[in-house]
Amino acid sequence: MIPHDKLFIPGPVEVSEATLAAFARPMIGHRSAAFKELYAGMQPRLQGLFGTQQPVFLSTSSAWGVMEAAIRNLVRRRLLCCMCGAFSDKWLDVARRCGKEAEPLQVEWGKPIDHREIDAQLATGKFDAITLIHNETSTGVMNPLGEICCVLAKYPDVALIVDAVSSFSAMPIPMDALGIDVLLTGSQKALALPPGFSLFSVSEKGFERAAEVSDRGFYFDFLEFRKQQAGDMTPTTPSVGHIHALEFKLEEIFAEGLTNRYGRHARTNALVHEWVRARGLEFFAAEGARSVTLSCVRNNRDLDVAKLVRDLREKHHLVIDGGYGKLKGLTFRLSNMGDETEETVAHLLTCLDDCLS
């Protein structure tokens, strides 16, 4: 691979040479038999990853496109936005910009969403949809999806929209079993594909809801996706390079095996956790609510984070993140998502030690 600074930021993450080679395969027409075969051939593995019997759709947009689409397709009356960090907070603003009634369920950054608070809000009967970010990438918080889904099971009229952008494929997220109505992810985080593409699936309840909602537009209309997918196509010209790269990635994922893949993320994450503790550092995310794909390290040692980030890049050609938004300098984030192994993560930690010594 050409010399470059390797990304350990929590997205976009490092993309392997083999994935880039697949991304650069010759183009095919998106209405051709070759395309239909490619897309149809990927469906079973995509459904396996999503834990769903529903079709899995491919969107040529970054994840925010589908996050906005979920609101435009599913919110009839009023939306409850679970907010615990930069991405989940932003969703409220996006909903209002889409002209929807939306209310915040805000918790302090670093804390997870409490399922009892969701229960109390939904019990008011005001809401017909809810947004949740499973893994809040800005704070390193992983929300208790199972508990939250149990609460949602009590409210069949409420559609559950889940962003799994930075956790998808790093741990099981069985969409059908959990009763998720829209499950979405982006290409450039846990899947370690180039940025600018996303994947999502919609429950039957989600489609029924969409059919009742007007002003869905065209580009992100879920019913349009379903119609075209029935013929193994996307509504508009997709990024074919991403689809080639995704096909390659699926081969890799299933060759490794899902259990092994989940185990690898757990082990690389544990390595980072050990390092954080051994160096007298702390976590920004509350105990019991920490992500398995990234660590948001609290700068309790008053380190010069900007210098650390710079030194690591200049001396070792590794890139980490120096804190998101208002957490800049107060935290730094280390990603173990995608293709990283115990060996590559151990190397990152050795290089960090070198810069800190």
H-type helices in the chain, by residue range? 17-23, 33-50, 63-74, 86-97, 115-122, 145-152, 175-178, 204-212, 222-229, 240-256, 258-278, 305-316, 342-356
Task: Provide the mask over 287-326, with x wherever binding to ligand PLP is found by CB under 6 A and - wherever it is not.
Answer: ----------------------------------------
If one asks whether residue 11 binds ligand PLP (CB under 6 A), the answer comes out as yes
CA angle 184, 10, 302 (to 5 degrees): 140
Q: Which one of 6, 36, 51, 64 is in contact with ligand PLP (CB under 6 A)?
A: 64
Nearer to ligand PLP, 132 or 318 (CB): 132
Which residues, other chains included, contact 102 with Cβ-Cβ below 8 Å and sequence gap of 6+?
75, 78, 79, 80, 81, 92, 95, 96
* Total residues binding ligand PLP (CB under 6 A): 13
Q: Please answer whether residues 176 and 39 qualify as being in contact, where contact means their C-beta atoms are separated by less than 8 angstroms.
A: no
189/298 with CB nearer ligand PLP: 189
Residue 140 interacting with ligand PLP (CB under 6 A): no
| Residue placing its CB nearer to ligand PLP in the complex, 11 or 206 | 11
Phi first, then psi: give them for residue 213, nearest 5 degrees.
-100, 135
**Residue 340 binds to ligand PLP (criterion: CB under 6 A):** no
Q: Helices 240-256 and 258-278, interaxial angle, to 10°?
A: 90
Convert residues 82-111 into a mask of x (bound to ligand PLP by CB under 6 A) and - (unbound): -----x------------------------
Closest to ligand PLP by CB, 22 or 191: 191
Q: Which residues bind ligand PLP (CB under 6 A)?
A: 11, 62-64, 87, 133, 135, 137, 163, 165-166, 186, 189
